[in-house]
Structure 1
Amino acid sequence: MSLSMIRKGCLLLTAILLLAAGLAVPQLSGTANAAPQVEMQTELGYEGVFKQGKWNPLRIMLKSSEDLAGDIVIQLQNNNGMGEAASYVQRVELPKDTEKEIVIAIPGVFLTKDNNTITFYEGSYSEGKPVAISGSKTYLTKSAVASTLVGVLSADPDTMNFLNTLNGKGNSIIRAPLQADDIYEDAMLLDGLDVLVMNNFASDTLTERQQESINSWVQSGGTLVLSGGAGYAKTSAPFLDIAPVQPEGTMDVDSLPELVQLGRKPLSLADTLTLSKGSVVEGAVVDTITAGAPLFAHRDVGQGKVRYAAYDVSMEPVSSWAGHAAVWASVLKNDLPMSNGGYNPSMDQLSYTLEFFPSIQMPSFPVLLWMLIIYAFVAAPLLYFILKKADKREWAWFLIPLVAVIASAAVYMAGSTDKTEEMAHTLNIVELDGAGLGNIDTATALFTPRSGDYQVEFPQNTYVKTQRRSGGFVTNLGENKNFIRVEQEQTKLELRDMPQWSLAKMWARRAAPEQTGQFAVTLDINDNGEIAGKVTNETLHDLDQVVLVVGGTAYKVGDIPARGTADIPSDKKSMITLMGSDLAYQLYPYQNQGRDSFNRQRDMLSAYTYQQGNFSTSAYVVGWSDEELSSYTVGGSFIPSDQLNLWTQSVELDWSQKGAFSIPYGFLTPQVSQVNATNFFVYPHGIEMGQGSITAEFQLLSNPNARYDEFSIKEIKQGNNITMEIWNAEQAAWEVLPANQNTYDVTDNTERYIVDNQIRLSIQSKGQGMIQMPELTLKGENQ
């Protein structure tokens, strides 16, 4: 080849390269065909606090370089590493260069870079491709907390700071200062808050849907505190239908002796303090009165409470007063659960129980045994005898495998007769509020007879967790197979690649209470502590094995049809004295022989009664039904479901209608408000504590006109390591109870021991040990 030809070839190649480069330049410098990029910022929980075992808000701020529509997918391990991951999906449309915020509810689990990821799919997660994300990590790292979470909406961001001093005294409290936009319009996004304090806050700046969200949150079990002194009227304005006190102006005081009694520290007001005045609504309870007006009051609303404080809790000198934390430890003692290292299960603990499908039976062992015997007889001696007789022994080469195939098919048919269709097993705990509404917590399992993909549809406003394995820790996320999308009309769960004969376990909860009906309980208790009365089933369901628990005794009321009434039994055989034992195991003891026919009832009742605080409830009713109370569809079709429903409701013992009253031991339960001990654990009807002290309070009758003539405290003699004291309000000092006797009787001047309608005890221990909580009997008259 000549040099000129080589030169011409090089020139031609150069021209081609330049042309190619020229064609590429517009594509590189232009934006029309560039891949879109998404900037992302995330904010998890409530001012960074992420609540364990609750639904928490995840805020995601997104901005795209191009007009973009697609799905944001948060994939995480729902069950602390147990089972396959679930992906929470939300549709997003992003205009070019415009920041958009979305909020997704995710369950409170410990988050690390290995157990979660965030992905944006252009178009959809099922068909689109991931889009590059910048500005933030594509995973979340956060430790979920089990502490009591108190959200604060106030003009002063330091409001309720004094609660921090209660930490280490039996409480674990985190205070989260909130802004108006932290109150979400979906009540489930408030699920992680235990208490919401609104103090001197212009509540009318909240939207109508935010106000409705707070109402639903209270109905479902939240505690709302309304306060603000002169600002109470603007704080309570949108919530007057649930507030315990209706505002009627203000008043000034120059001292607060009732607050001093609660806080047990001197308080001097340099100037007057402005309090709100108001009328107490019907059904509300006045806890403390000062200068003839309510200082503290509360009102039960559904499963929750609304509390009232007449003063601005951020106002000095009260805010930083040394006794202020003790005051609120007493006011919120039922809303700030004590730290407890003991067993505290939830609906998640029913994962194993879900595997006991009543309609799925194990193959009959005698049938399988006879099939095996017949197969062995046919495949060996009988077949050999027939072939030998026919002189066709060489046929054994294909007859023996044929018999094996037929036998295997027969065994398969015998074992799969009830496993050919989708089935569900659902466990519901229905917690009634006594006013017609109830919260329904659901644990359910879907049986899939064939391998493949399934879509499960739940009613609107349902929040779902899922688990497809019953055990074994998963060290990485793996492939997305479970997709949950909360939509306006329904919640959808897509289950991909379900194996044959497998279970998908799901936990579902609605954002607001539902119409359920209630129990109506009337009680009459004589001086000997014997109960008479009736239980009326005001639900729409026939209930079985109804039990009333009150005063440390369980009364087996029996079956009650819908709208029916049953008497509380007086027969000793129908009563169980609990004496600190577990109600679930007393009613449904283990069965050592044969199938345990009550394992579901025992597990569900144990899960309910051992939730924090439930076992200390002085009175409640439980009953059972097996109707389809909650349902979902698979591919749009309803499927057969085994259901078991536990109905439960707390019972308020109303003594206010009586004239003279005599309340026996066991009906007034002390509540621990402060702990200064090395260890502290709560168990049914007792506590375990280390060296140190605890403060416990007996709440007396709600009737402010009750006069107490005498009372007696027993179980004060509990060994040389235990000392008990009672607070003497007249002397403003602790009074040691006699250690050489088991009861302490007060027959005159009872008021010296009563502060804020309660009797306060201090229990000191020199070492680790179990303590049975003291009991109180009370006599007096409603004036």
Structure 2
Amino acid sequence: MRDWTKSGGKLVLAGGAQYRKTAGALADLSPVEVNQVTSVKTLASMKAEKTNPIGLTAPFTVSSGTLKAGKVLYSEGAIPLFAVHSVGEGKVLYVAYDLAEEPVASWAGNGRFWSDLLLKAFGSSLNDYKSSSFDRIWPLHDAADMNPALKIPEVSWFALFFGVYALIAGPILFFILRAWRKQSYMWVVVPSLSLLTGIGIFSFGAMQRGEGVLIHQTGFVQLQNDGQAKVNSVTSFFVPSSGDYRLTVKGQGQTQPVLERNRANEIPKIWAFAQSDQTEVQFRDVEFWSTRKVATEQTISDVGSFESNLSYSEGTLKGTVTNKTKFALRDLTIFSGSQLQEIPELAPGASAEVNLPFQPSAQARFGHRQSYAMQALPAHMRSFQNERTREQVMIEMLEMTGRRGNQSEIVRIVGWTNQPVVDAAVQPENAKTDSIALVTSELKVQPSKDGHVYYPTGTFDVTLAGSSVPVVDEGDGYRLEAGDITFDINLSQEGKKLAITNVYLYTWSDDNTTFAKEVYNWKTKAYDLYEKAFNNNVMTGDKAADYVSADGMLRIKFAHQLPDQRHIGIPNVSVEGKVSPL
């Protein structure tokens, strides 16, 4: 459950008198450090629209403690009732009472309250469809087939070879045998020459492949900035002769064999044995000169992280990045949106200077259909015209992990390593190994000395707050008939008070529909025309006081009256301002 949460799961830890038992070994994931059990006389902060408040006729038992991470969503006096924080790619919601406790459990507004609470706690990630992680690593599968040791010779060499063969087998032999008056020997010499040529080609191929197993591993490493990393890998191995083979993957996590499409109708002769510290996969009756593959997902705790000292100043992201990982990295790219900086190599312990120009307005308008992946691929790797490289295939893993929420805008570093990221071995042991892995991490950006900070698109959670008609979720936006749809944009930052200088907004539609826009005024409790709040898609700090709520919420309504369904993309929002501790 710990690994599941860190890889994107949503965990609710409910409290009350038995909190220590129910939380158990997962208590350290909670945003609240519980130190006692107490009771409250009211639950005034728990409200739901069109529903009477909770009536307590007796003290209500809750667990009590102090916030150690994240933010409090609701509290009763100094007691946090609900708090949430991020753990890896997932989130943990702490609740101070037993969910079956009366009278809250049967309160008429309980369903409505929890509907709002979950959206507030987990945001748009509630709408994400989480397919199996093994379904989302097809770039690693495809790249695993591109084993450099199995590279086919150039076509030009084949053409030259067969041209020489045809010349010898045809006119040269003909003229030689005619000169010796032995033309009848052609019936013996030509087939013999063909047989020798075939044996030569086979021998050349066998010599190239060697006598041992050829292991090729492709990997994708997502550093979590706490020394841990989520690692996906595909290990393929090519066998020179038929027989039984055993692949052992060490470490905890999930490992499963990959069935090739052309073998989908066959009964696989595969046995997998999962143990606490390793997984063993046995392949029976493997044909000679064939390949088998195994996919792995692990959480590794001793990988390290990138140490960054970055801040925005005078239109530039400046500072240093230090490689505190165990990987020797090459062809690195630091990027945010359309801006990027390339670094040739970065050894473990080495640092690099960052000088990355940026324009907030340009960042917000960075095209939603621009290739997030190709932005992170160094220029010299994009220029191959005749063939796709492993890097060009594997970089698509970035698209698979950051499509919703425009994660491409967040400052990120991407690099390559030729070190194996998963410990995998094939028996028999006579094997040659080749590895390549894509390593990526978000880079933390600190406020400048005067507190100035810029939060790029993707920093803030954008959620569907409501609609007047049914909508179809398309991942990066919604499709709706004539009517309206409302988005809530949460501009709050954990543990920080943000004084907004500018809010940059970019809205878009796949079918270029022009939507009418309104912005909710939290002071008048009514919607205002978009142009009253934004000028050229920029809201200044003085207007933010009216249109950003006390808890940091910006609410925008979009509407159209066209006869058919139209698409509205999730708005791109970035913010410039100054921060100070709460």
TM-score, L = length of structure 1 = 0.63
Moved more, 433-442 or 614-623: 614-623
CA distance in 1, matches of 2:339, 2:219: 25
Equivalences for 1:223-302 in 2 at 5 Å?
223-236=10-23, 238-247=25-34, 248-252=36-40, 254-257=42-45, 259-260=46-47, 267-271=52-56, 274-281=61-68, 283-302=69-88
CA distance in 2, matches of 1:735, 1:229: 44
2:472 matched to 1:679? yes
Q: Indicate the SS of the match to 2:202.
A: helix
> Using a 3 Å threshold, how does the CA distance of structure 1 residues 291 and 653 change in structure 2: closer, same or farther?
farther
1:340–1:681 contact (8 Å) kept in structure 2: no
Once the 2 structures are TM-superposed, how far is the Cα of residue 781 of structure 1 from its aligned partner? 4.6
Name the structure 1 match of 2:283.
495
CA distance in 2, matches of 1:614, 1:731: 32
CA distance in 2, matches of 1:367, 1:713: 57
CA distance in 2, matches of 1:535, 1:413: 50
2:311–2:453 contact (8 Å) kept in structure 1: no
CA distance in 2, matches of 1:555, 1:569: 8
Name the structure 1 match of 2:181.
391
2:335–2:376 contact (8 Å) kept in structure 1: no
Q: Structure 1: any 5+ residue segments left out of the alignment? A: 1-213
1:363–1:415 contact (8 Å) kept in structure 2: no
Supply the AA of the counterpart residue of 2:531.
P
Residue number among 567, 570, 585 corresponding to 2:356 in the alignment? 570
CA distance in 1, matches of 2:527, 2:572: 17
2:249–2:280 contact (8 Å) kept in structure 1: yes
2:161 matched to 1:374? no
Residue number among 193, 197, 200 corresponding to 1:407 in the alignment? 197
Question: CA offsets, 1:597-633, max 9 Å, x none?
Answer: 3xx2233222233236566333432221011232322
CA distance in 2, matches of 1:622, 1:265: 50
Equivalences for 1:745-760 in 2 at 5 Å?
745-747=540-542, 750=545, 753-760=548-555
2:317 matched to 1:519? no
Residue number among 697, 702, 705 corresponding to 2:494 in the alignment? 702
Once the 2 structures are TM-superposed, how far is the Cα of residue 566 of structure 1 from its aligned partner? 0.8
Once the 2 structures are TM-superposed, how far is the Cα of residue 472 of structure 1 from its aligned partner? 7.2
Once the 2 structures are TM-superposed, how far is the Cα of residue 724 of structure 1 from its aligned partner? 3.5
1:338–1:672 contact (8 Å) kept in structure 2: no
Once the 2 structures are TM-superposed, how far is the Cα of residue 373 of structure 1 from its aligned partner? 2.5
Once the 2 structures are TM-superposed, how far is the Cα of residue 503 of structure 1 from its aligned partner? 1.4
1:675–1:695 contact (8 Å) kept in structure 2: yes
Supply the AA of the counterpart residue of 2:556.
L
Supply the AA of the counterpart residue of 1:702.
E
Equivalences for 1:417-496 in 2 at 5 Å?
417-420=207-210, 421-461=212-252, 463-471=254-262, 474=265, 478-487=266-275, 490-496=278-284
Supply the AA of the counterpart residue of 1:607.
M
Name the structure 1 match of 2:425.
633
1:482–1:494 contact (8 Å) kept in structure 2: yes
Supply the AA of the counterpart residue of 2:371.
D
Name the structure 2 match of 1:110.
none
Once the 2 structures are TM-superposed, how far is the Cα of residue 681 of structure 1 from its aligned partner? 1.8
1:264–1:732 contact (8 Å) kept in structure 2: no
Supply the AA of the counterpart residue of 2:335.
V
1:710–1:750 contact (8 Å) kept in structure 2: no
1:529–1:663 contact (8 Å) kept in structure 2: no
Supply the AA of the counterpart residue of 1:531.
L
Question: CA offsets, 1:73-121, max 9 Å, x none?
Answer: xxxxxxxxxxxxxxxxxxxxxxxxxxxxxxxxxxxxxxxxxxxxxxxxx
Residue number among 454, 475, 493 corresponding to 1:663 in the alignment? 454
2:530 matched to 1:737? yes
TM-score, L = length of structure 2 = 0.82
> Using a 3 Å threshold, how does the CA distance of structure 1 residues 602 and 385 change in structure 2: closer, same or farther?
closer
CA distance in 2, matches of 1:225, 1:274: 18
CA distance in 2, matches of 1:303, 1:339: 14
> Using a 3 Å threshold, how does the CA distance of structure 1 residues 728 and 436 change in structure 2: closer, same or farther?
same
2:375 matched to 1:586? yes
2:372–2:398 contact (8 Å) kept in structure 1: no
Supply the AA of the counterpart residue of 1:439.
K
> Using a 3 Å threshold, how does the CA distance of structure 1 residues 412 and 747 change in structure 2: closer, same or farther?
same
Name the structure 2 match of 1:307.
93
1:529–1:665 contact (8 Å) kept in structure 2: no
Once the 2 structures are TM-superposed, how far is the Cα of residue 544 of structure 1 from its aligned partner? 1.5
Question: How many residues are paired up?
Answer: 549
CA distance in 2, matches of 1:383, 1:292: 99
1:557–1:569 contact (8 Å) kept in structure 2: no
> Using a 3 Å threshold, how does the CA distance of structure 1 residues 738 and 748 change in structure 2: closer, same or farther?
closer
Q: Indicate the SS of the match to 1:383.
A: helix
CA distance in 2, matches of 1:695, 1:377: 73
Name the structure 2 match of 1:332.
122
> Using a 3 Å threshold, how does the CA distance of structure 1 residues 228 and 751 change in structure 2: closer, same or farther?
farther
2:515–2:558 contact (8 Å) kept in structure 1: yes
CA distance in 1, matches of 2:419, 2:108: 54
1:256–1:290 contact (8 Å) kept in structure 2: yes
Question: CA offsets, 1:335-387, max 9 Å, x none?
Answer: 4134599xx96113533332211222212333332332322232233223333
Supply the AA of the counterpart residue of 2:472.
N
2:406–2:572 contact (8 Å) kept in structure 1: no
Name the structure 2 match of 1:775.
573
Q: Indicate the SS of the match to 1:515.
A: coil
1:223–1:335 contact (8 Å) kept in structure 2: no
2:322 matched to 1:536? yes
Name the structure 2 match of 1:148.
none
2:391 matched to 1:601? yes
1:659–1:782 contact (8 Å) kept in structure 2: no
1:715–1:743 contact (8 Å) kept in structure 2: no
> Using a 3 Å threshold, how does the CA distance of structure 1 residues 491 and 239 change in structure 2: closer, same or farther?
closer
> Using a 3 Å threshold, how does the CA distance of structure 1 residues 707 and 561 change in structure 2: closer, same or farther?
closer
Name the structure 1 match of 2:414.
622
2:509 matched to 1:714? no
1:693–1:763 contact (8 Å) kept in structure 2: yes
> Using a 3 Å threshold, how does the CA distance of structure 1 residues 629 and 313 change in structure 2: closer, same or farther?
same
Once the 2 structures are TM-superposed, how far is the Cα of residue 643 of structure 1 from its aligned partner? 1.1
What is the RMSD computed on CA atoms of the aligned residues?
3.5
2:475 matched to 1:690? no
Q: Indicate the SS of the match to 1:483.
A: strand
Q: Structure 2: any 5+ residue segments left out of the alignment? A: none
CA distance in 2, matches of 1:553, 1:669: 20
> Using a 3 Å threshold, how does the CA distance of structure 1 residues 711 and 481 change in structure 2: closer, same or farther?
same
CA distance in 1, matches of 2:343, 2:430: 35
CA distance in 1, matches of 2:528, 2:51: 19
> Using a 3 Å threshold, how does the CA distance of structure 1 residues 614 and 722 change in structure 2: closer, same or farther?
closer
Question: CA offsets, 1:188-216, max 9 Å, x none?
Answer: xxxxxxxxxxxxxxxxxxxxxxxxxx334
Equivalences for 1:113-192 in 2 at 5 Å?
none
Question: CA offsets, 1:374-412, max 9 Å, x none?
Answer: 222322332233333333333333222222212222233
2:416–2:439 contact (8 Å) kept in structure 1: yes
